[in-house]
Amino acid sequence: MEKTQAYKRIQELTELINDANKRYYVDNAPTISDYEFDMLMKELESLEKDYPDLKSADSPTGKVGSDLFNPVPASGSIGVNGAKREFEQYPHRYPMLSLANTYDISEIQAFADRVAKGIGNVCTFSCELKFDGTAICLTYRNGRLYRALTRGDGTVGDDVTENVKRISNIPQVLKMPADFTPTRSNPYPWPKEFEIRGEIYMPWEAFDRLNEVRIKEEETPFANPRNAASGSLKLIDSNAVAERGLECTLYHVLGEDLNFQTHAQALDTVASWGLPVSDKRNICTSIEDIRDFITYWDTERKNLPFATDGIVIKVNEIPYHTELGYTSKVPRWAVAYKFKAEQALTRLVSIDYQVGRTGAVTPVANLEPVQLSGTVVKRASLHNSDQMHLLDIHIGDYVYVEKGGEIIPKITGVDPGRRCPDAAQPHFPEFCPDCGTPLVKDEEEARSFCPNQSGCPTQIKGKLVHFLSRKAMNVIAGDSTVEQLFNKGLVWNVADFYELKKEHLLMLDGWKERSAERFLNSLQDSLETPFEKVLYALGIRHIGETTAKSLARHFGNIDSLASASREELLATDDIGEVIADSIKEWFSDEVNIEIITRLKSSGLRFATDAVKEKLSDSLEGKTIVISGNFSIPRDHMKKLIETHGGKNSSSISGKTSYLLAGEKAGPEKLRKAESLGVQVIDEVRFMHIIGQIPDKSDETNDYLLNEQLTLF
Ligand code: IVH
């Protein structure tokens, strides 16, 4: 690859990896599989090896991913600062590193060779399960659990001690082993202080239970037990943690006063103090032994009550750990062999074509039930017609099913060798399976849509259910209520809900005075729903909760949003072409405009509080572009502009009143402001303009803080 191409690809990979890291560690909602992630990382490592001068100092290849809620620099106890930080953060005594990994068994030989060369000797290896959870570092002081830190960014971790104390198999006080005789000089078997690291995970049973509840309560289910474990560990309420059924297995002991000769001896000893250590480990003396251990567990892991994603192979003799040392990211004395995602082979019985509330038609496979990663799988996604062609799938085929980052398993392959000669090839429908309208294919998304948005019963019912759902208008009603109301012709679009009368509801099967009143009261309460949620509730394609928030904040009310040009929409944070087009299309439909008019007269909120609660007119008529970082988050700065009567814009033009420039403001924006004669102001000047600070600049921060507190 040429150097310019390599440069571009390195940038691309860095962005992809950083994004995947955030989604994995912080959001607990991965979008790519571990395998895909590891392949991106390996590609970046190899490019950086070929072009060392293109490697940036903060490349993700040199760091462990960070799970910190709010990354801050390390310095002793970094304490809570206001209400925003969820956990105190403390530095790790020893950096908390990751492990080198491979999917290729032959690389284990290369690892053993590197070790032998490094120590100039032979050694033994401790082989263990790789627990698929979230890493934890426990400190025991005087035999008591003193502190529990997450991995964080490897240097600083979040203090989750209170939550860890609610995990039933982690002892708060160590146990005296039966064979230990205390003496005056040696009263305890453990040192005054030591650290022990391991993994907190959620067994399959607890995971399935949790997701069942989340689905019932319309919360997004966790994609896998690992995300469920790390999400649970960071819950604010420790009592809720206790109910999550988390477990812990510890696998690495560290400290100054430990005299263990081998890793196995260390684990056996701490187990005798009551610490949870796995018995599924083995000391291997040859590559063949290691290979056997891997092969055995690659099959047997399916019968474990928790998830494992590989085998960890560690040099057993501890003095060699010091000799081999660490890279910036991983120890040289250990390696992880990762299992390929678990697959199950089963028969494809039929394919349903499901119409979603936005009209997207998704092929969903009905399978002969099969056990996969702890659950029975009966249905799997086939994504779209392109994927069906790519797989060359036939009805009755034996198919491979995998669980990826998503909750719904997917079909990843077909075994054509077992295909019946007369197996039929499925045809993706050309007409909507529900209303018969010809489907339209969106080439960019490779998906087919039913364009009959206001006439297709499944789409209408889907939109009605979405409108009432908890994250939208939060009206107490189940899918069956919507079904009944729709079937009786009482509700056709969301505006009809607010025109329902008690007599209408009493016409429905099983409805009594009390249930009718409860539903009507809940509809009445929903009038208080903030604009951003109302906007989300409308079910405009591509407008999820976050986008709705951005739009509500930017435009302030529905009329400004409805009349915004494509360019204005594109100038809003997080809005790209697809979303801008979808908004324009939605507001160009007269049916939708009429719905808005009716909802407005029913009393729903179509403007943000910020617009209603104006603090001053000091920025009236001013258009402001902000660039760079400020002492308060950018979103808060934008809200301040609006509450003082100004308008935010993202691009500088002759109409811009000020460029509000923070730290690291974009040089391009500064240049443009200068060339157009736009006044550039800093944060302090801005606060003067809106009357937030008197003329004593040394008080700036206090005033900024007050402003934050009163507003947010
Ligand atoms: S030993 C210096 N042993 O896998 C690193 N790690 O993907 C010592 N993990 O960072 C780690 N099971 O969080 C070790 N038996 C095991 C493990 C294990 C799971 C985790 C750990 C590590 C990650 C790397």
Interval between CA 173 and ligand 1 midpoint (Å): 24
CATH of the domain at 364: 2.40.50.140
| 3-class SS letters over 608-670 | CHHHHCCCCCCCCCCEEEEECECCCCHHHHHHHHHHCCCEEECCCCCCCCEEEECECCCHHHH
Total residue length of the chain: 712
List the catalytic residue out of 8, 130, 192, 647: 130
Please tell me if the CB atom of residue 252 comes closer than 6 angstroms to any atom of ligand 1: yes
Could you tell me if residue 69 is inside a domain?
no
Could you tell me if residue 70 is inside a domain?
no
- Within 10 angstroms of residue 225's Cβ, the number of other Cβ atoms is 25
Interval between CA 101 and ligand 1 midpoint (Å): 10
Model confidence at 18, in pLDDT bands (50, 70, 90)? Answer: confident
pLDDT tens digits, one per residue of 313-366: 999 999 999 999 998 889 999 999 999 887 899 999 999 999 988 888 999 999
Mean pLDDT of all residues in the chain? 87
CATH of the domain at 670: 3.40.50.10190
Predicted pLDDT at 214: 79
- Shared domain for 292 and 264, answered yes or no, is yes
Q: Return d(Cα 229, Cα 245) in angstroms, integer.
A: 9
Q: Once rounded to an integer, what is the mean pLDDT over residues 579-583?
A: 92
Q: Which residue has the higher pLDDT, 152 or 79?
A: 152
Please tell me if the CB atom of residue 135 comes closer than 6 angstroms to any atom of ligand 1: yes
669 labelled catalytic: no
- Shared domain for 541 and 524, answered yes or no, is no
- Shared domain for 99 and 165, answered yes or no, is yes
Could you tell me if residue 80 is inside a domain?
no
Interval between CA 213 and ligand 1 midpoint (Å): 30
- Within 10 angstroms of residue 50's Cβ, the number of other Cβ atoms is 11
Cα–Cα distance list, 340 to 298, 578, 647 (Å)? 9, 35, 52
Could you tell me if residue 406 is inside a domain?
yes
Interval between CA 293 and ligand 1 midpoint (Å): 17
- Shared domain for 645 and 518, answered yes or no, is no
Please tell me if the CB atom of residue 140 comes closer than 6 angstroms to any atom of ligand 1: no
- Shared domain for 290 and 162, answered yes or no, is yes
Cα–Cα distance list, 222 to 202, 214, 368, 408 (Å)? 11, 9, 24, 11
Model confidence at 513, in pLDDT bands (50, 70, 90)? Answer: very high
Could you tell me if residue 67 is inside a domain?
no
Position 489 pLDDT exceeds 80: yes
Which of 316, 338, 360 is where one domain is finished? 338
Which of 11, 45, 62 is where one domain is finished? 62
Predicted pLDDT at 33: 74
> Domain range for residue 327?
90-338
Name the packing angle between helices 106-119 and 287-300 (round to 10°).
Answer: 140
Q: Which residue has the higher pLDDT, 611 or 431?
A: 431
pTM: 0.58
Which residue's alpha carbon is nearest to atom 12 within ligand 1?
130
Q: Which of 22-26, 234-238, 523-527 has the lowest mean pLDDT?
A: 22-26
- Shared domain for 488 and 621, answered yes or no, is no
- Shared domain for 465 and 595, answered yes or no, is no
Which residue's alpha carbon is nearest to atom 18 within ligand 1?
130
- Would you call 347 helix, strand, or coil by DSSP? strand
Which of 425, 449, 473 is where one domain is finished? 449
Q: Return d(Cα 669, Cα 661) in angstroms, integer.
A: 9
- Shared domain for 180 and 325, answered yes or no, is yes
Model confidence at 544, in pLDDT bands (50, 70, 90)? Answer: confident
Position 31 pLDDT exceeds 70: no
Predicted pLDDT at 219: 67
Please tell me if the CB atom of residue 336 comes closer than 6 angstroms to any atom of ligand 1: yes
Percent of the chain with pLDDT over 70: 91
Strand order in the sheet with 658-661: 647-649, 623-627, 658-661, 679-681
For the chain, the domain total comes to: 6
CATH of the domain at 518: 1.10.150.20
Which residue's alpha carbon is nearest to atom 22 within ligand 1?
98
Interval between CA 251 and ligand 1 midpoint (Å): 8
Query: Which residue of 102, 312, 329 sits with most ligand 1 atoms within 8 Å of its CB, as the best mutation to test the pocket?
Result: 312
Could you tell me if residue 73 is inside a domain?
no
Predicted pLDDT at 215: 72
Q: Which residue has the higher pLDDT, 48 or 73?
A: 48
Could you tell me if residue 76 is inside a domain?
no
pLDDT tens digits, one per residue of 107-129: 999 999 999 999 999 999 999 99
- Shared domain for 155 and 218, answered yes or no, is yes
Indicate the DSSP class of residue 155: S
Cα–Cα distance list, 420 to 347, 363, 416 (Å)? 12, 22, 9
Q: Return d(Cα 516, Cα 267) in angstroms, integer.
A: 62
Contacts of 420 (CB under 8 A, 6+ apart): 396
CATH of the domain at 328: 3.30.470.30
Predicted pLDDT at 38: 84
Maximum distance among all alpha carbons in the chain? 88
Predicted pLDDT at 5: 85
Predicted pLDDT at 85: 35
Could you tell me if residue 77 is inside a domain?
no
- Shared domain for 292 and 374, answered yes or no, is no
- Shared domain for 601 and 628, answered yes or no, is no
Query: Which residue of 103, 130, 263, 279 sits with most ligand 1 atoms within 8 Å of its CB, as the best mutation to test the pocket?
Result: 130
- Shared domain for 596 and 693, answered yes or no, is no
pLDDT tens digits, one per residue of 302-324: 889 999 999 999 999 999 999 99
